[in-house]
Structure 1
Amino acid sequence: MLFSSVFLVVYFLLFLALLGLWGSRKPKAVPLLQEFPRVSILIAARNEEENIHTCLTAISRLHYPKDKLEVLVGDDRSSDQTRHLVEQFSQDHPYVRCLPILETLPNTKGKANVLAQLAHHATTEYFFITDADIEVPTTWVETMLQHLKPWTGIVTGITTTKGGSLFERLQTLDWLYNLGLMQVVADQGVPVSTMGNNMLVTRQAYEGVGGFEGIPFSITEDVQLFRQVLEKGFKTGNVYDPAVLAWSAPAPNLGTLLHQRRRWMRGSVHLPWYMLLLFVVHSSYYPVWLPYFLHTSMGVFAAIFAFKVLLQSLFVLVCAHRVGVKVKGLDLFFLEFYLLFTSMVLIIFFFLPLKIRWKGRLY
């Protein structure tokens, strides 16, 4: 009882501090680009016939000069029409190339293997990495480049999911919420993490760690690369701005969502200790709060529930407002039950002796 009470006090004080920092945040102005360097966009694709055309079409709408773009799509042994669709698209967009990935480099698997081979073919100093089910905004490239500073190795944008169903809308809010928590910490000038569907890596940083084949393999290859780049002394930056907001295809069902989040939980062990601590405290709320109900009154229980929903809703509203995403009021209430369910199920699912299924492979 005493532990639960202390934990809840610490939790709400931490949440109030984060909300205060987030609400008072004033993004720093960044200088406009004085020149437009050539850049490489690297995309790993495996059985993405439903998404790849939308992804490439979004890239074709970039405001960045097309003669400065090099788009390399790695077809990772797809059994559908992915490769054909990319080659067909490239006929009218000569800056797009499809590279069949038929071998596996030492110390790599899956997406890390594809990106490692694409990096060997890239001819520029800047690697923009996204996924085949992502739609990037028109201002993506120049805005990410604007946030490069001396000795910066990685710049990370913001991604959320698209879709109109309640399940899809709750995923959208969940992504914005968690990335907002990360951004509050990043705004304090310390590194947090990155996302492999919306990141810029300089060639200097990438080659400085030996590429994906030169670092320990992880199913969350982006977080592992981030960690290794930090250890080499490079700086990182996170951008929470609509100019870099990319849209991802949502998890189509609960099973896919659980495998996705379990994969992310595996990668969380590579986070800086303060980020790991923040997410541990955040995810421990329900396991501590629910037993607390057995030792208190219904009134206290209801008050704690209402206070948590209020703080969380305010934080999520700020997150959505910063990137221009509209939120339905009831979704903020449903989000609490979505987080409760996914948190409790994930705690069990994480420790089951099961492999993670991702992109048709088991890890």
Structure 2
Amino acid sequence: MADLLFYIALFLIWVMLLYHMFLMEGGYLHFRSFEKPIPEWARNMEELPTVSVFIPAHNEELVIEQTLRAMSRLYYPKDKLEIIVINDNSSDDTGLIASRFAEKYPFIRVLETVEPNKGKGKSSALNSALADSSSEIVIVYDADNTPERMAVWYLVMGLQNDPKAAATVGKFRVINAEETWLTRFINIETICFQWMAQGGRWKWFRVATIPGTNFAIRRSILERLGGWDVKALAEDTELTIRVYNLGYHIRFFPKAITWEQEPETLSVWWKQRTRWARGNQYVVLKFLRQFLTLKRKSIIFDLFYFFFTYFLFFFGVILSNALFIINLFYDIGLSIGNISLILWGLAFLLFLGEVMVTLSIEKTEMNWKNFIYVIAMYFTYSQMWIVLVVRSLYLEIKRLITGQEVKWYKTERFAKKPK
């Protein structure tokens, strides 16, 4: 019985590894081809839509100035652009700093949230701005983001040239990647997410996930959907599923680039990633219950991906580790043969190869330092994720049983260093 369970665990692990190898290939192919239509697309950028950039901000005084400085330099006609800083119940100087920029730049304004949305989290803040604006395109940036000058232009370009796209998502990079061992791990994780999960799925399946930042979406779509789900901790993933269910797709266009700050301490990382994991678990459970009523059955594939990632894959890893450790102290009949050990070793080598090939897409990231970090990442950072997902699942099940209200955690910021 122990051997059977161990082989089931290995099977689950290998399915995910092989799937990510497939995504890696797709991401690389997308990297080689996504810029080719830009000259033709540029010719369709004469009649430009109006754009509102939403920046939800709660106690962001450490980062908001540099963010707004980047916003002030955006390449887009200023008579068709407005930057809305949503000051959501801040108790620091966020509002004061944003107001100074609003006085200097006519296209920047500050929106103070009011009851019942005040202090309720990102989704409520975004819904407030949606109700207070009227532009054709809505773009969202987190308050720690510094988009490159052409980012908004490229996000709009993706929508202008793809009528079936409800949203365009860009690429984000880590601005503080060199600060700590943790941010180096997150930098590697982020690059893999961009080119595997986003680029790979877009290349093979025309599927991408709306991230929390650096995306553009048509107002008409948002209004049909009723805005953002205030109960969702991962409001971006939840919105993604509803967009696809309308019959539209989401284009991944990595020419639109923003730089964002990542957690520099383990405690901040733990809180942020717990919110992400719980949010994605909420989305999976919410829409799997609606399986028979979903209009677009193709999104079931994406739901299964999240289900496999946050449930089956981690179950396989936990099961294999648990059986191996228990067998060290108690004889449970586990006879790990040479084939099993070889499969375990090959899984590590496959992980290493996938990540390094993906890192090679970003010109400066394929180096010996990152090679060492990827090896360390397998035995440390990846294992931390296992514990985190188990903890998140426990909290989410507890919430469902007790009916407690979801509390949105705002990621703590660090004094931002210029890129």
Whether TM-score is above 0.5 comes out as yes
Offset from partner CA, 1:164-183 (integer Å, 9 cap, x none): 22221211111121232222
Matches within 5 A, 1:1-363: 1=3, 2-25=7-30, 26-28=32-34, 29-30=37-38, 31-32=41-42, 33-105=45-117, 109-148=120-159, 149-163=162-176, 164=178, 165-183=180-198, 184-212=200-228, 215=229, 217-239=231-253, 241=254, 243-269=255-281, 270=283, 272-277=302-307, 279-280=309-310, 283-284=314-315, 286-291=317-322, 295-296=336-337, 300=342, 303-304=345-346, 306-321=348-363, 325=365, 328-329=369-370, 330-353=372-395, 358-359=409-410
Match of 1:160, as an amino acid? R
SS in 1 for 2:196: helix
Match of 1:19, as an amino acid? M
Q: Distance in 2 between matches of 1:83 and 1:348?
A: 38
Distance change >3 Å, CA 351–CA 207, structure 1 → 2 = closer
- Offset of residue 296 of structure 1: 4.5
Maintained 8 Å contact 2:146/2:259:
yes
- Offset of residue 289 of structure 1: 4.9
Maintained 8 Å contact 2:28/2:195:
no
Bigger mean CA deviation after superposition, 289-298 or 131-140 = 289-298
Give the percent of matched residue pairs that are identical in Structure 1 and Structure 2. 22
- Offset of residue 135 of structure 1: 1.0
SS in 1 for 2:204: coil
Maintained 8 Å contact 1:134/1:247:
yes
Maintained 8 Å contact 1:154/1:237:
yes
- Offset of residue 267 of structure 1: 2.5
Maintained 8 Å contact 2:171/2:194:
yes
Bigger mean CA deviation after superposition, 121-130 or 280-289 = 280-289
- Offset of residue 68 of structure 1: 2.4
Unmatched 5+ stretches in structure 2: 285-301, 328-335, 399-405, 413-419
What TM-score does the superposition give when structure 1 sets the normalisation length?
A: 0.86
Distance change >3 Å, CA 8–CA 45, structure 1 → 2 = closer
Bigger mean CA deviation after superposition, 341-350 or 276-285 = 276-285
SS in 2 for 1:85: helix
Distance change >3 Å, CA 151–CA 90, structure 1 → 2 = same
Distance change >3 Å, CA 306–CA 207, structure 1 → 2 = closer
- Offset of residue 5 of structure 1: 4.3
Bigger mean CA deviation after superposition, 26-35 or 160-169 = 26-35
Q: Distance in 1 between matches of 2:60 and 2:137?
A: 25
- Offset of residue 140 of structure 1: 0.6
- Offset of residue 350 of structure 1: 1.3
Q: Distance in 2 between matches of 1:5 and 1:223?
A: 28
RMSD of aligned alpha carbons:
2.9
SS in 2 for 1:67: helix
Offset from partner CA, 1:221-247 (integer Å, 9 cap, x none): 2222222222222322122x2x32211
Q: Distance in 1 between matches of 2:348 and 2:277?
A: 28
What TM-score does the superposition give when structure 2 sets the normalisation length?
A: 0.76
Maintained 8 Å contact 1:4/1:292:
no
Maintained 8 Å contact 2:352/2:374:
no
Unmatched 5+ stretches in structure 1: none
Look at both structures and tell me which one has the larger radius of gyration over its CA atoms. Answer: 2
Distance change >3 Å, CA 8–CA 282, structure 1 → 2 = closer
